[in-house]
Chain A
Amino acid sequence: ETGVTQTPRHLVMGMTNKKSLKCEQHLGHNAMYWYKQSAKKPLELMFVYSLEERVENNSVPSRFSPECPNSSHLFLHLHTLQPEDSALYLCASSQGYYNEQFFGPGTRLTVL
């Protein structure tokens, strides 16, 4: 079990649904990240939060909305997704920007 947990582990949703992914880190880190991992594509950075402020938004569509209420929790709110958004969504955390990132187990998302 890693120091970064994610819920749910699996999610199936229709294109008109609204759902949220949750990430929690127990490592005392101050930076958190959302990544998308699609089949046969490299991991893609979506968002970076440092000290609860968003410092990076990698041209992600507005149907993905992140929220970081404190340094231990990170959410990804989803609405009106498309089937091509089906992927593994990974959360990570690090102490400072320049140190190694530790990943959670991911949420496998399927959009019907």
Chain B
Amino acid sequence: EDKVVQSPLSLVVHEGDTVTLNCSYEVTNFRSLLWYKQEKKAPTFLFMLTSSGIEKKSGRLSSILDKKELFSILNITATQTGDSAVYLCAGGGIQGAQKLVFGQGTRLTINP
């Protein structure tokens, strides 16, 4: 059965710290790894990674995929209180339609 596991499940840091969130996956016919940020309701898209070893960056956020070891990391530098959210990782496999299998999420809290 496909699964995605995120760690840690919860993380509390101070503003300005750098954090690394982890995601490991076992997905049949794997094609892509996606990261989302969920603050209140709607998860908002951050990154989609399909190639191993190529870092994607957006401001203070960056992510990289390792297809050999089946994991991805999401880095956030110089954290701000607005980064507080649940970060979701999802593995996409090609089985007809692409099915996204989500991890449990990492709840990140940034204290001022």
A residues lining the B interface (CB < 8 Å): 2, 4, 31, 40-45, 48, 50, 55-56, 58, 88, 90, 97-106
Contacts and interface: CB of A to CB of B under 8 A. Distances in A.
Contacts of B96: 55-56
Contacts of A103: 36, 42-44
A43 B48 contact: no
A50 B103 CA distance: 24
A103 B36 CA distance: 10
Contact of B97 (A4, A48, A88, A106): A48
A99 B48 CA distance: 8
A43 B36 CA distance: 12
B110 interface: no
Interface residues of B, number: 26
Given A55-B97, A105-B42, 10 more contacts: A43-B43, A43-B88, A45-B101, A55-B96, A56-B96, A58-B99, A88-B41, A101-B100, A104-B42, A105-B40
A42 B44 contact: no
27 contacts: A2-B42, A42-B4, A42-B103, A42-B105, A43-B43, A43-B88, A43-B90, A45-B101, A55-B96, A56-B96, A56-B97, A88-B41, A90-B41, A98-B32, A98-B92, A100-B34, A100-B48, A101-B34, A101-B100, A102-B45, A103-B36, A103-B42, A103-B43, A104-B42, A105-B40, A105-B42, A106-B42
A90 B97 contact: no
Interface string B35-60: 01000111111001000000000000
